[in-house]
Amino acid sequence: MFAIETKQLTKTFGKNKVVDQIDLQVKSGEILGFLGRNGAGKSTFINMLTGIIQPSSGSYSLLDVQGPNDDIKKQIGVMPDYSALNASMTAMKHLKFLAAVSEKPVSDERCMDILKLVGLEEQAHKKAGKFSFGMKKKLAIAQAIIHDPQLIFLDEPTSGLDAESVIHIHQLIQQLHQQGKTIFMTSHNLDEVEKICSRIAIMKDGKIGKMGSMDELRAYYQSTITVTIKHSPIRSTHLPTLEQWLTLTGTQLEMKTSQFTIHVTSEKKIAEIIRALGKYNIDIYRVDVNEPSLEEIFLDE
């Protein structure tokens, strides 16, 4: 089952095609990281899926139900705009109110549990008007999950949060993932996306440029892995042959007395090198492997 499927989904504002015929499939249970530079069209795309704006053309389905559909909204969690919180309502009241609107009344106990999950238990009975930016953000996340939805849209869930809260929210996202929920999240923090998302989609000029797991993206960009190996001395008679063999295996070899660095295209090559060193009776003390980050892939897009 696809949690999200779009076909030729398009949004035009005047003459500006902001979302351009996007075909996207998100499998149930995935954490999809949705990336793109400012103005790429991410929010417009999400706003169509969550029913905030109407597509200009194309279609979409959520949890296998053709959208827009009011019933399916109950199974979807969306972070509301945190600047639109009611200043005179407490965190608890916000959750009770939202659950009532989505026709899934919840107990005070569940509200407290969710506030604990996002790290807001101490603010449960405080008015949102007195909340810091981070607290408002956490309340928005709580509002997205209070009614136990199957599909959750999180818009930059950790931007502006302190380091401890970021870890906390990452744990929460992993927990929701383990419960089988599908999470569609935007973020400008590439390390975060690389760490917690199972697949990544990169949006550019209204289209999805590349999409896949980190391994798939690395393979697509044919990026190389840099391997540095620290080893015991190599006998001078072996050195030229070994050096020649390594040059055929990888590129840009840098050889020092007790260490060399080589760039290879696949992990299998690392195993080959280690086996070859064994044949020459060279001991390996340390292997450092450096793979290209999502940042390098993103900047290349």
Round to whole Å and give the CA distance between 211 and 37. 15
* Shortest reach from residue 118's CB to ligand ATP, in Å: 22
Round to whole Å and give the CA distance between 36 and 92. 34
Our CB check for ligand ATP shows the closer of 48 and 196 to be 48
Query: What amino acid is encoded at 189 in this protein?
Result: N
Our CB check for ligand ATP shows the closer of 18 and 169 to be 18
* Shortest reach from residue 180's CB to ligand ATP, in Å: 28
* Shortest reach from residue 157's CB to ligand ATP, in Å: 14
* Shortest reach from residue 26's CB to ligand ATP, in Å: 17
**Could you identify the residue written with the tokens 């007790």?**
258
* Shortest reach from residue 15's CB to ligand ATP, in Å: 11
User: Residues binding ligand ATP: what is the number (CB under 6 A)?
Assistant: 10
**Could you identify the residue written with the tokens 């070899």?**
253
Residues numbered 263 to 282 that lie near ligand ATP (CB under 6 A) are none
* Shortest reach from residue 18's CB to ligand ATP, in Å: 4
Our CB check for ligand ATP shows the closer of 6 and 43 to be 43
* Shortest reach from residue 20's CB to ligand ATP, in Å: 11
Question: Which x/- pattern over 1-20 shows residues binding ligand ATP (rule: CB under 6 A)?
Answer: ------------x----x--
Nearest to 266, CA basis, from 234, 219, 216, 210: 219
* Rama region for 148: left / alpha / beta (φ>0; ψ in -120 to 50; rest): left
* Shortest reach from residue 126's CB to ligand ATP, in Å: 29
Question: Which x/- pattern over 26-65 shows residues binding ligand ATP (rule: CB under 6 A)?
Answer: ----------x-xxxxxxx---------------------
Our CB check for ligand ATP shows the closer of 41 and 250 to be 41
Our CB check for ligand ATP shows the closer of 52 and 65 to be 52
137 binds ligand ATP (CB under 6 A): no
Our CB check for ligand ATP shows the closer of 38 and 88 to be 38
The contact set with ligand ATP (CB under 6 A) reads 13, 18, 36, 38-44
